Structure 1
Amino acid sequence: MARLADRVLTGEIVLPKYQRAFVWGPHQILELLDSVLRNYPIGSLLLWETTEQLASEQTVAGLAVDPPRPSRAVRYILDGQQRLASVIGALHGGAGLWDIIYDLREERFFHRTPETPTAAHLVPMQAVSSASLLFGQVVELSADVRDRATRLYEQFANYLVPVVTLNHVSAEESARVFVRINSTGTTMNIVDVARASTWSPDFDLKDEIESLLQVLDAKHYGRVDTKTMLRTIAVAAGFGFSRQDINRLRELDKPRLREAVEAAAKAAERAVDFLSTQIRTPHADALPYYNQFAVLVEVFRQLPKPSSAQYDALRRWFWLTASGEYFKGWSEAQMAQDSQAVAAFARGETGEVDTVAALPRSALWRHSAFSKRNAPSKLLALILAYEDPLDLLTGQRIDVGRALSWQNDKEFHHFFPRAFLRARGVSGAGVNVCGNLVMLTSNSNIWVSDRPPSRYLRDLAEIEGEGALRQRLRTCLVEEEAYQAALRDDYDTFLRVRSETLHRRLLQLIGSAAEPANVASSSAEPLAGDQIIGLDLEGDSLTDEPVDLDSVD
């Protein structure tokens, strides 16, 4: 096994570019090492031998590897990368994930922690690649423990792995083999599959996606995920948004693939301009759903120069689809409908981007937890940003760009302080709802502290004047009835009234105070009190991370 690792580091065995990144976790690495030590089978390696010089990875397990030697046969790894990289990292790494110790007394592998002592019986795995290092460390230990060190060294030096080598196949065929054999084990994601299945020596989909993302970088817009960018390429190629459509990219020749990428890139620029100027999302992280971006890119691919009326319709579409769970569970049927709707809109056959997204429920603001990564919270932030909110204490404009980048969530604070509500028996789920959140500077929040609203609002009125305070509250979408409820410390009434205000403002942005003709209303029951509406991208969930407000309110 150690010999195989050396052959990778010296460039005799290499990873082709279409291989996915290392994805194993710490537990899988330790289990593999334990299997090698116990002489358990760990499966075979599949190599492809060729004289073709393909683009290959320059590092394995974070370690630099020698480039393949020109004019000599090279063996590319098709199957076994995760196992081989784990052994290489353990034997030759030594930092972070690869800082692995073998306890000769307890006979177990573990990752070093700050509390791990230095002791002769605790052997760093990188010492196992050097007999002098290993036996120099254990020389003073008891004979039985030294015997274990000998077994450890010999097992990793002499462990045999079955190797199957393919010959006489092309680079494209090798990529197809890679996709087929990696349909089991640690599952490949759709980006890995699409990259490998479309790969050739002169085309790497990963590089093409990177060029698309650089369009966003050039606009200082941040990045959406690579799966979303794959959607934009698939639909630009004439297929659609779905996983099956992404898989169909392998049907295209490389010129057509590049045409699709270039078309998506031009449309992405226009989509970013629309989102940043018309919706005021300064950063991709402000989008409630990345799938909205995929649809907008296709709109601007088919319709590079919308009319004023079409821009209005796109704004209405954005607010409507951001306000429900339509994109949370974007099914293939919905994707097909949306493709048809975009085409009809671009041809001028419809005045709206027809969607079956439901109108939002007014209970949304009372029952959706405020969380850094969920859609209702991002929707709330966008609505508040539209009002150009003023800080309650200073009267200065809140830096909404900073807030909407979600790099610093300290711009969001509870109007009814958390400590105050908890002292009155309100649950954490009842406190941390969207309807109780406003944009407020950290300094103002510290000034508010945990005081009842009736006290800090009256203090503000005395300091700044009643008229100035009311004006600032309106920019935070806290209107008169909600203000009066806060002066009475009446949280239930405040939350109900402010939720109605937020809902009314959202309906205005959607473009109707009633049900639009092309929108299906929802008769569903209100959300459960502690339910979080999250970001889901066709099954690929983004973890909800609650905003850390422990140091405030």
Structure 2
Amino acid sequence: MTILQQSSKAQDRSLGHWYSLIQSGQLKLPRFQRMEAWDRGRVTGFLNTIIQNLPVGVTLLLEVGDKEKFVSRYIASAPETGARVTEHLLDGQQRLTAFWRAMHNNYEGETYFVYLSQFDRNDQGGRDADEVRVVFEGRWKHKDTWRPIWVDSPKSCLERGLIPVDLLCPGDQSVRVSAWVEEATAHLKPTKGAPDFEELFERLSAMRQSLRDAISNLRERVTHFNLPYLALPVSTDAKVALTVFVNMNTNSKPLSMFDLTVAMVEEEAGASLHDLQDKLEAAHPEITHYGDLASPLLQVGALLQGLMPNMSGINGMDKQQLVKDWPRVERAMVRASSFLVRQQIYDERRLPSNVVLPVLAASLDAIPEDGDALGRGEHLLRAYFWSAVFTSRYEGAAATRSFQDYKALLTLLRRTKFDPADYASVPVMDRRDYELPNFEQLTRVGWPKGSDRMARAILATTLYFGGWDFADGRPASYEALKTREYHHIFPDALLQEADIESNLALNCALITAKTNRTIGRKDPLDYLKDRVQWAGEDAVRARLKTHLLDYTTLAGATYADADGNPLMGNALAARLKPDFAAFLEQRAKLVALTAAHLASGEQPSYEALMAEAMQDKQVAA
């Protein structure tokens, strides 16, 4: 039989057979596959498909001969028997993991049941007596006890018409089933000598038999349910099997380049990228602040081999060289995260563009860790980073353009001497093609809580001078930002009254939230005071400056008449619109000025920036 004939014809296999293969350890997963990913909804959906005996799609197997073609692992929570592996499960992990774990009811956050309406004592006749379905009950731990407590009581479960789904586990479960039925109905056992003892006992016996019959029927349905499969023969080349796996994979989340590269690296170099990544993240958890590292790690590896940081470049990497280069990749990623912290970028939510991370890391690999060369190199990368996030360079063909920028950066870094006059050789820093935004453009940029690059770049700039919290004066940091929220400086309710757009990046500050969230329409300074309950005026002035905010401007933004009554309607709009426009212009000019210095590689002080802004204002006047 040819591979085409064997792999294109689906074969039947019962869940009972699948169960025994998992239990014995003969069926394993290639280690490059993702871990289980289904949530309780998808687990419940699949179990209902089984209980209702509905058809499902085929799984995909690779038959294993004397030697496994891929490094393998056991299905989650299955016994690690050490038995000879006869099959690799290429597609179907989520279904069989859900089945195996449900048959042992060993999910920590939920317990699964089969609902049988005929045993539900709380049902008032509103359900079909033949209704059968799988449901779950969420669990949580309180003082070392799993709640709700009734889930562990057979009596309480049966009163709700619920049968633990693990009673349907294939194999001989007669003792377990009988014990559960006895315990669930023990309270119904009549007292000997009672006048109606025989009648009550017969009724109990009939109920127990009905319950056992119902469970037995469900067990038969589960054990004999058909989950078909396609099989690739032992002779299948590993690369062919991988290609079929990619094409057949039914996971709702498409396979990433990292998933595929893991398989190829394990085949060609005998190393596990999963293990290497796990060790890196355990040793340097700070780098995980910038999101999932799987793709950036491979992109850095590709750049170090002179390849584009995209699927084509990653696929074309020398996998053995990647493993040899891994210590360089690790050091580069750690240095890149440290570099971002020095730019006051602390996490993925505040990183304006993830395109820059691999380029920064690979470029840092070419920079010594001390001496004058380090200073020159970081000056260049500072200019690169801020140019990248404040221009449109990476809004199209990001991989191609980032590769061009990396090669240009590398050319400069390999020279014994270069200066800012040479920076324009890096395309993103050529201002003829990629201008920095002016203050008018910045005033129109939207709210920074989403993924908009320019909005995040503005927020990053307003944190560059420390971003001290208005309430406690703590500077911005990874830990500090966990407790902060995005707040309107000019309150949203106030601006909405005057029909003014409030969700602008320049109208945002990251500050600690107060419990009271119903402050409503107030003048900016009063609103912020109510939010954070801050200290004296001098302290507040200092804290506002670190967000590129001026205390005097906010203090002067008051919207009440001579009698202290809030302005309304046209009177409010007449005063608020020019005030808010002036506020946006003032802050936009400071952001644009800061961005210009940073995108030139400089590290401006707040005082110098203010002096320059004042001088520009006087010249303009």
The TM-score by the shorter chain falls in which range?
Answer: 0.7 to 0.9
**Aligned AA (1:107):** V
Mapped to 1, the partners of 2:474 and 2:111 lie a distance apart of: 45
Q: Residue 397 in 1 paired to residue 411 in 2?
A: no
Are residue 153 (structure 1) and residue 228 (structure 2) matched? Answer: no
- Decide whether the 8 Å contact of 2:494 with 2:521 is kept in 1: yes
Distance 1:27 1:401, change over 3 A: closer
- Distance change (3 Å), C-alpha of 1:464 and 1:144: closer
Structure 1 residues 195-222: Cα deviation after superposition (integer angstroms, max 9, x where no partner): 1232238211222333444564377966
Cα pair 1:414 1:432 within 8 Å, conserved:
yes
Paired letter, 2:244: R
Tell me the residue number matched to 1:199. 266
1:29 to 20, 29, 43: 43
| Equivalent position of 1:208 in the other structure | 276
Q: Indicate whether 1:16 and 2:30 are aligned.
A: yes
Distance 1:373 1:225 in 2: 18
Map 1:140-539 onto structure 2 (within 5 A): 141=207, 148-162=214-228, 168-169=234-235, 173-174=237-238, 176-184=240-248, 185-186=250-251, 187-200=254-267, 202-214=270-282, 216-217=284-285, 224-249=292-317, 252-254=318-320, 256-277=321-342, 279-283=343-347, 286-304=350-368, 306=373, 308-323=375-390, 326-327=393-394, 331-348=398-415, 350-352=422-424, 353-355=426-428, 359-360=436-437, 362-364=440-442, 366-371=444-449, 375-376=453-454, 378-389=456-467, 397-402=473-478, 406-410=481-485, 412-421=486-495, 424=497, 430-442=501-513, 451-453=522-524, 464=536, 470=541, 472-479=543-550, 482-483=553-554, 486-488=557-559, 491-511=576-596
The CA distance in 1 between the partners of 2:587 and 2:38, in whole Å, is: 44
1:127 aligns with 2:146: no
CA distance in 2, matches of 1:152, 1:444: 51
Whether the 8 Å CA contact 1:485–1:494 is kept in 2: the answer is: no
Distance 1:317 1:486, change over 3 A: farther
SS at match of 1:487: coil
Aligned to 1:544: none
**1:128, distance to aligned residue in structure 2 (A):** 0.8
Superposed CA deviations along residues 430-488 of structure 1, whole A, max 9, x for unmatched, are 4443222235455799999864236579999xx946x7765554333223784365235
The sequence identity of aligned pairs, in percent, is 19
TM-score by length of 2: 0.67
Judged with a 3 Å threshold, the aligned counterparts in structure 2 of structure 1 residues 475 and 229 are, in CA distance, closer, same or farther, namely: same
Q: Which residue of 1 aligns with 2:89?
A: 77
CA contact (8 A) 1:215 1:268 kept: no
How far apart, in 2, do the equivalents of 1:342 and 1:365 lie? 32
In structure 1, the gaps of 5 or more residues are 517-553
Shift of the 78–98 alpha-carbon distance from structure 1 to 2, 3 Å rule, reads farther
Q: 1:105-120 counterparts in 2 under 5 A? A: 105=117, 106-113=131-138, 118-119=157-158
- Structure 2 CA distance, aligned partners of 1:11 and 1:486? 72
Amino acid across the alignment from 1:119: L
Quote how far apart the aligned CAs of 1:88 are. 0.6
Q: Shift of residue 93 of structure 1?
A: 2.8
Q: Is the 8 A contact 2:461 2:595 kept in 1?
A: no
**CA-to-partner distance for each residue in 1:516-535, whole Å, 9 max, x for gaps?**
9xxxxxxxxxxxxxxxxxxx
Do the aligned partners of residues 367 and 51 (structure 1) sit closer, same or farther apart at CA in structure 2, a change above 3 Å counting? Answer: same
In 2, Cα distance between the equivalents of 1:317 and 1:4? 55
Distance change (3 Å), C-alpha of 1:303 and 1:259: same
Letter of the structure 2 residue corresponding to residue 299 of structure 1? S
Change (3 A) 1:207 1:258: same
Indicate if the aligned counterparts of 1:292 and 1:327 stay in contact, CA closer than 8 A. no
In structure 2, how many angstroms separate the alpha carbons of the residues matched to 1:30 and 1:456? 47
Shift of 1:133: 4.3
CA contact (8 A) 1:479 1:501 kept: no
Give the TM-score, by structure 1 length.
0.75
Residue 240 of structure 1 deviates from its aligned partner by 1.4
CA distance in 2, matches of 1:99, 1:244: 44
Aligned partners of 2:355 and 2:398 also within 8 Å: no
| Equivalent-residue separation in structure 1 for 2:339 and 2:381 (angstroms) | 9
Give the equivalent residue in structure 2 for 1:87.
99
Shift of 1:369: 1.6
CA distance in 1, matches of 2:79, 2:329: 35
Letter in 2 for 1:52: K
Query: Which of the pair has more CA radius of gyration?
Result: 2
The CA deviation string for residues 107-142 of structure 1, in whole angstroms up to 9 with x for no partner, is 222333579983363222112113444565497659
2:61 alignment partner, SS class:
strand
Aligned partners of 1:222 and 1:283 also within 8 Å: yes
More deviation, 143-152/23-32:
143-152
**What are the ranges of 5 or more consecutive residues in structure 2 without an aligned counterpart?**
1-14, 118-130, 140-147, 185-204, 561-574, 601-621
Aligned length: 496
The 2-side partners of 1:445 and 1:109 are apart by: 42
Task: Measure how far apart 1:46 and its partner are.
Answer: 1.0
Report the aligned-residue RMSD: 4.2
> Alpha-carbon deviations, 1:399-458, whole Å to 9, x = none?
21146x642224x53323445555x3658xx44432222354557999998642365799
Change beyond 3 A, Cα 1:468–1:232: closer
Letter in 2 for 1:319: W
By how many angstroms is 1:248 displaced? 2.0
